[in-house]
């Protein structure tokens, strides 16, 4: 098993070399940023207003749609997950503190990328034979790229890798893995109990299976109520920790910036990391967390009940900001200021490192984090099952979705008991395969995004 893990990690490393997925991600996000006139910066106030208006306004969905806030909640359910707890931890363990800087870079251009994905998702959505709307890269690639010889293979490639990534990747097995490990860490540190990984695995598997029977309406309804509250609980605990250790913040910022451009030396159990390793870890975990460029979120954003595609694009901007700039940053400060990231006993850890770091200042933090991890993992799992089944539906039709849900639920259990290095290597590798056809599609359709952006903001005279 260890040899297989090393082989998967080797393939993953080649996919995330700076000249491969990271370069394409940053180039695509940069192109969209320039083409839309810095939409993620100039229109951020409008995005902020739109999201908070949607949170408190009664906005009913039409048949086959969900409300814009439900779309945001469903998308946030899949982005604000254990990538923010375990993914940040593994990024630091692999790439050192500098990996966080590259996560920020990924988010800065990723806000524009997510805007484009949401805009295209709404613009090119279709109605399936079930009467439900369907959206995502497979539809905007086939609907927007005029060259059939290119569009069809790209769309099917995305749908295939999307369906597989949702079964085996960071939206499924990595989530249950982190949930199980934070649960075990809490039981050990608070109650002095050795709980096997399969026990929390059964709990999360049963909870996910019950919700998935209800489909997108049930998923959106659960996410709308669950996501805001779970983010508030986690951020409250993180804020308390940071305030208790506020004097460490300047040093943590300095460490992140300096190690982004110079190798991180070996210290304690940390083996050291080159700049290339730092960049690869930051970009791969950044994409894992905020999903910008991955192609998953427009599957949910695309079925929102909005008057114009750019309205949902603004929601996408806010989504990346919350996920990476806010939540991931707070997790990074907690881990780095604790010093445990250099502890040899945590060099194979993920969410359990974050739990241990919080526990250095907050009593019972590991128990609270175990609850947060369960909620994060649960919401991410139900969101990603929806993404996967829509990809599966594109390939094989609507009548086989139940089979996909059953298989997805079974793999939740598998993910809870396998090793941390393997589960995260598989997840980020499949993310890269999934992102590639989507990024090509976005490059071809950047003109459409520009046209829709100009149409919306010039037509409504929206100021920022």
How many separate domains does the chain show? Answer: 1
Cβ neighbours of residue 177 closer than 8 Å, sequence gap 6 or more: 86, 350, 415, 416, 418, 420, 423
Which band of pLDDT confidence, cut at 50, 70 and 90, is reported for residue 369? Answer: confident
User: How far apart, in whole angstroms, are the C-alpha atoms of residue 53 and residue 377?
Assistant: 27
pLDDT of residue 210: 78
* Ramachandran category for residue 123: left, alpha or beta (phi over 0 → left; psi -120 to 50 → alpha): alpha
φ, ψ for residue 366, nearest 5 deg: -65, -35
Does residue 431 sit within a domain?
yes
Whether the predicted pLDDT of 122 surpasses 60: yes
The span from the CA of 449 to the CA of 39, in Å, is 11
Look at residue 393 in the predicted model and tell me its pLDDT.
93
Q: Give whole-number Cα distances, 151 to 25, 160, 297, 445, 449, in Å.
A: 20, 14, 20, 11, 17
Q: What is the pLDDT of residues 381-393, one digit of tens each?
A: 887 888 999 999 9
The alpha carbon of 263 is separated from its chain's Cα centroid by a whole number of angstroms, namely: 27
Structural domain includes residue 279: yes
Q: What is the mean pLDDT of residues 350-369?
A: 88
Whether residue 454 is contained in a domain is answered as: no
pLDDT digit string (tens) for 13-62? 888 887 888 889 999 999 999 999 999 999 999 988 877 776 555 555 55
- Domain assignment present for residue 458? The answer is no
pLDDT of the residue at 66: 57
Position 71 confidence tier, pLDDT thresholds 50, 70, 90: low
What span, in angstroms and rounded, lies between the C-alpha atoms of 152 and 149? 6
pLDDT at 288 over 80: no
pLDDT at 299: 93
Average pLDDT taken over every residue of the chain: 87
Q: Is 85 within a domain?
A: yes
What does the block give as tokens for 334?
């907690």
Of the CA atoms within 13 Å of residue 417, those in its CB half-sphere come to: 13
pLDDT of residue 462: 44
From 99-103, 194-198, 255-259, the region with the lowest mean pLDDT: 194-198
Question: Which residue's entry shows tokens 């940071």?
Answer: 242
Q: Is the pLDDT of residue 102 over 70?
A: yes
Q: Which residue has the higher pLDDT, 133 or 41?
A: 41
Let me know: does 320 contact 123? Beta carbons within 8 Å: no
Residue 30 burial class via C-beta count within 10 angstroms: exposed 0-12, middle 13-18, buried 19 and up: middle
Whether the pLDDT of residue 169 is over 60: the answer is: yes
The stretch 344-360 carries a mean pLDDT of 88
Q: 164 by DSSP, 3-state: which?
A: helix
What band does 295 get if pLDDT is binned at 50, 70 and 90?
very high
Residue 126 per-residue DSSP state: E
Closest residue by Cα to residue 174 from 459, 386, 416: 416
Place of tokens 């595609």: 309
The most confident of the ranges 75-84, 165-174, 237-246 is: 237-246
* Overall average pLDDT of the 295-299 stretch: 91
Cβ atoms of 371 and 82 closer than 8 Å: no
Interval 302-316: pLDDT, tens: 988 888 999 999 989
Q: Does 77 have pLDDT greater than 60?
A: no
What average pLDDT does the segment 370-376 reach?
A: 80
What's the rounded Cα separation, in Å, for the pair 15 and 425? 11
In a domain, residue 455? The reply is: no
Q: Give the CATH number, domain containing residue 280.
A: 1.20.1740.10
In a domain, 462, yes or no: no
Angle, in degrees to the nearest 10, between helices 98-123 and 21-35: 60
> pLDDT at position 448, please?
97
For residue 212, give its domain range. 2-447
- Answer for the pair 17, 284: CB distance below 8 angstroms, yes or no: no
pLDDT at 348 over 50: yes
Nearest to 335 by CA among 96, 67, 7: 96
| CA pseudo-torsion sign 284, 125, 384, 323 | positive
What is the value of pTM for the model shown? Answer: 0.87
Q: Is residue 76 part of a domain?
A: yes
Residue 183 has pLDDT above 80, yes or no: yes
């Amino acid at each position: 098993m260890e040899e297989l893990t090393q082989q998967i990690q080797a393939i993953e490393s080649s996919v995330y070399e700076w000249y491969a997925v990271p370069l394409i991600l940053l180039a695509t996000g940069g192109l969209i940023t320039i083409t839309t006139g810095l939409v993620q910066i100039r229109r951020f106030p409008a995005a902020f207003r739109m999201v908070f208006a949607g949170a408190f306004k009664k906005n009913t969905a039409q048949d086959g749609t969900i409300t814009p806030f439900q779309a945001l909640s469903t998308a946030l359910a899949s982005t604000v997950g254990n990538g923010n707890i375990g993914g940040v931890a593994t990024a630091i363990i692999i790439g050192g503190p500098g990996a966080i800087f590259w996560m920020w870079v990924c988010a800065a251009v990723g806000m524009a990328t997510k805007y484009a994905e949401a805009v295209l998702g709404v613009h090119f959505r279709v109605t399936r034979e079930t009467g439900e709307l369907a959206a995502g890269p497979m539809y905007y690639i086939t609907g927007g790229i005029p060259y059939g010889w290119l569009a069809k293979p790209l769309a099917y490639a995305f749908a295939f890798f999307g369906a597989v990534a949702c079964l085996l990747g960071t939206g499924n097995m990595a989530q249950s893995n982190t949930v199980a490990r934070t649960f075990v860490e809490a039981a050990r540190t608070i109650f002095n109990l050795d709980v096997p990984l399969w026990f929390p695995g059964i709990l999360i598997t049963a909870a996910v299976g019950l919700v998935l029977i209800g489909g997108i309406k049930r998923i959106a309804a659960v996410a709308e109520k669950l996501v805001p509250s779970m983010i508030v609980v986690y951020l409250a605990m993180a804020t308390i920790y940071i305030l208790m250790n506020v004097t460490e913040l300047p040093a943590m910022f300095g460490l992140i910036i300096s190690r982004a451009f110079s190798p991180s030396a070996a210290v304690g159990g940390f083996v050291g990391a080159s700049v290339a390793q730092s960049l690869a870890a930051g970009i791969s975990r950044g994409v894992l967390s905020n999903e910008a460029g991955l192609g998953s979120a427009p599957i949910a954003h695309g079925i929102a009940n909005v008057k114009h595609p750019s309205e949902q694009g603004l929601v996408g901007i806010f989504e990346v900001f919350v996920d990476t700039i806010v939540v991931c940053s707070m997790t990074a400060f907690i881990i780095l200021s604790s010093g445990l990231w250099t502890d040899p006993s945590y060099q194979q850890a993920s969410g359990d490192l974050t739990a241990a770091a919080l526990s250095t200042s907050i009593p019972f933090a590991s128990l609270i984090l175990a609850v947060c991890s369960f909620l994060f993992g649960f919401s991410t799992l139900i969101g990603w099952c929806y993404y996967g089944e829509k990809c599966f539906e594109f390939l094989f039709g609507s009548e086989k979705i139940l089979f996909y849900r059953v298989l997805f639920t079974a793999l939740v259990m598998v993910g809870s008991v396998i090793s941390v290095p393997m589960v995260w290597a598989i997840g980020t590798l499949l993310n890269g395969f999934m992102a590639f056809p989507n990024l090509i599609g976005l490059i071809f359709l950047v003109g459409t995004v520009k046209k829709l952006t100009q149409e919306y903001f010039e037509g409504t005279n929206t100021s920022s």
